[in-house]
Amino acid sequence: MRFQVFENGKVADEFTLYGAYLFGTDGIAVRKAKITFKDGFIECSKPNMATAGLALLWNIEGFGRILLPTTCLPERERPYILNVELARARLMCIINKREDWSLFDSIKELGDISHQAQSLLIRSIQNISDPPKASEFADGSLRKSIVFSEKLTAKHADMYFKVRGKNRSFGRGCLGCQIDPVRIGEPEYIKRVQELFGSVTIPINWGQIECQKGHYDFSVIENCLKILDKKRLSITAGPLLCFSKEYLPQWLLSSNVGFEKIREAGYKFILSTVGQFAPVIHTWRIISGLNVFNHFGFNFEQVLEMTRAANMAVKASGESRTLKIIEISNPWGEYYSSTPNTIPPLVYVDMIVQSGINFDAFGLQMHFGRNQAGMHAKDMLQMSSVLDFFGPIAKPLHVTEVEVPSRHSGGEFDVNVAGVWHEKWDQQKQRQWIEQFYKIALSKPFVDTVTYANLTDSADNKIANSGLLTENLEPKESFKTLKKFSELIFRR
């Protein structure tokens, strides 16, 4: 399967495949696929003849650089025109979401943009025998349809956000933030936390707490709780278990033990931690991102058993009011194409639900603005669509981590390799992105909380310059906007 690439109506001489992967009709990334670019063509080879789509980072004039998919296409000798297939896929997505959301007569004011996008795609297909001309019409269609899809998403979010507000269905802790234990002792820091948020998350790192086998140092958590005491904040903690290398004890990494011993060590850690703090912490992120982070290479059954064991350990602590959250990282599943010992996100979700594990909610981690699988920039229709996948599951959803940058950076954070929403990242763009995302997320009746990943800029952040405050604790535009957003939610 080949795609010819055009830029401004001319065959592209150079094109770098940032974030590129193939996916099947079920939306799952294709493994063992090879994607290369040469002489104006993207060549995709895969292990079977099944239809597949291509997703990659793509420039849209006047909008930004975001990860976009084509539709699923059959193999054929003649190359596809990438520009046309990206435009076709976006219009198909719009049609599907309008039907899902029952948004037809209520968006008459957007009719002109929709009609223009469709007309340009028709003209593109009519000129398919002239690829340069077809690509120019397709580019115009994509520009119009991206604008339309953002407005459509905003319209839908605004309608249902107002409904939730009228029904007073927002909890006191629906806006949260993960705190930095290093800075929590600063009076100005805790003042900023109280100024905006109703809930906070205390980060937990198993590797740092159990440096020696069987010896737990809870001093960091104890210090956080001492400072947060009587602050009228809902407190979450976690992840209790995460099988990314930086979260694992060094003694366990070097012990070369089997699955049963690892499960036993994790069970004991959770039992000790929850037993120690259950009276004051009632929400636990019990296991995080096991669909992606699997340092020990657990097989499918072991992943499920580890998830079950973590849940049972929290339950065994004896605290019946404990809320148990299982976290999903990278909900689009790009990682599955290239990372071994991983599970597609919705497959992991389904196996947990079907297994009968007695947990309370799912959590989603969403980080954007870095050249890593799952972190390339996306638009708001993609945000709303991925949240909608969790609607039918009959479990509440918590966005346990979300962040985007507030200014341009280099390296793997450069907009050319990581993508960008509209123009280069700055405080205004971060503010606008957060404002739109929060309204979309909280318009979903099944989304209980949205937690920002970090309050301040820090070298430890997954996304550079993504804090709501500067390192000097000065509020950014996003902090001010969230404060107004909070006032809007709780104004009665």
**Domain range summary for the chain, segments of one domain joined by +:** 2-161, 168-490
Mean pLDDT, rounded, for 452-458: 96
pLDDT band at 204, cuts 50/70/90? very high
Tokens coding 345: 């996100």
More confident residue, 217 or 321: 217
pLDDT at 222 > cutoff 60: yes
pLDDT band at 168, cuts 50/70/90? confident
pLDDT at 394 > cutoff 90: no
Distance CA 87, CA 125 (A): 11
Tokens coding 447: 């989304």
Give the list of residues 6+ apart from residue 227 with CB closer than 8 angstroms, or none: 184, 185, 190
Pinpoint the alpha helices (H) of 317-405: 345-355, 380-388
Taking only the tens place, the pLDDT of each residue in 229-250 is 989 999 999 999 999 999 999 9
Mean pLDDT, rounded, for 150-154: 95
Instruction: State the pLDDT at residue 282.
Output: 87
Give the list of residues 6+ apart from residue 369 with CB closer than 8 angstroms, or none: 375, 377, 403, 404, 405, 413, 418, 419, 420, 425, 463, 464, 466
Q: What is the DSSP string of 131-150?
A: HHHHHHHHHHHHHHHHHHHH
Tokens coding 190: 């805790």
Mean pLDDT, rounded, for 6-16: 96
**Rg of the chain (C-alpha set):** 23
Instruction: State the pLDDT at residue 106.
Output: 60
Its sign, for the CA torsion 148, 146, 96, 439, is negative
pLDDT at 492 > cutoff 70: no
pLDDT at 490 > cutoff 90: no
Q: Whole-number mean pLDDT of the chain?
A: 95
Cβ atoms of 476 and 431 within 8 Å: the answer is: yes
Instruction: State the pLDDT at residue 105.
Output: 66
pTM here? 0.96
Mean pLDDT, rounded, for 84-110: 87
Taking only the tens place, the pLDDT of each residue in 279-309 is 899 899 999 999 999 999 999 999 999 999 9
Cα–Cα distances (Å) from 250 to 211, 255, 309, 340, 404, in that order, read 7, 9, 21, 22, 31
User: What is the crossing angle of helices 82-101 and 111-126, to 10°?
Assistant: 140
For the domain 168-490, what is the CATH superfamily, name and number? Glycosidases (3.20.20.80)
pLDDT at 29 > cutoff 80: yes
Quote the percentage of the chain above a pLDDT of 70. 98
